[in-house]
């Protein structure tokens, strides 16, 4: 699996990601469409860190990969909701740019972790 320092860094990074999602949700307009999209984003975006923490407690490599892939699914979903908020004009693209960048970086990290763990188990 991963070293303790890298694991702590990723725990902190996914926690910071969730907090950014929460702050974005709180700042959304109170219009129905913004709130519906925002609640979807809030659920998926805050779930990433929880999924990763579960992965850190996995009982096997297969369990670890399964949970990392769960975090990856939540990141992909979060990216979708962020893109909808941007493309619908609810939130300015410039405001969402850094969060979309972080989503894509986290996706790349989790894909790499899953691949490396799978290749060690093969």
The pLDDT value given to residue 23? 98
Q: How far apart are CA 116 and CA 109, in angstroms?
A: 11
Q: What is the DSSP letter of 89?
A: T
- pTM of the entire structure? 0.91
pLDDT tens, residue order, the chain (122 aa): 456 777 789 999 999 999 999 999 999 999 999 999 999 999 999 999 999 999 999 999 999 999 999 999 999 999 999 999 999 999 999 999 999 999 999 999 999 999 999 998 65
Q: Which fold has domain 4-121?
A: de novo design (two linked rop proteins) (1.20.1440)
Which DSSP letter does residue 88 get?
T
Query: In which residue are the tokens 């219009």 written?
Result: 31
Angle between the N-to-C axes of helices 32-56 and 4-27, in degrees from 0 to 180, rounded to the nearest 10: 170
Quick check: 25 and 81 in contact, CB under 8 A?
A: no
- Distance from C-alpha of 61 to C-alpha of 86, rounded to nearest angstrom: 37
3-state secondary structure of 92: coil
């Amino acid at each position: 699996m991963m070293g303790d320092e890298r694991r702590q860094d990723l725990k902190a990074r996914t926690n910071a990601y969730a907090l950014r999602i929460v702050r974005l949700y709180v700042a959304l307009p109170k219009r129905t469409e913004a709130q519906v999209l925002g609640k979807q984003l809030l659920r998926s975006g805050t779930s990433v860190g929880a999924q990763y923490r579960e992965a850190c407690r996995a009982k096997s490599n297969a369990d670890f990969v399964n949970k990392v892939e769960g975090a990856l699914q939540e990141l992909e979903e979060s990216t979708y909701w962020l893109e909808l908020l941007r493309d619908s004009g609810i939130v300015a693209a410039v405001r969402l740019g850094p969060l979309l960048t972080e989503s894509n970086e986290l996706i790349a990290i989790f894909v790499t972790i899953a691949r490396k763990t799978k290749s060690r188990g093969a």
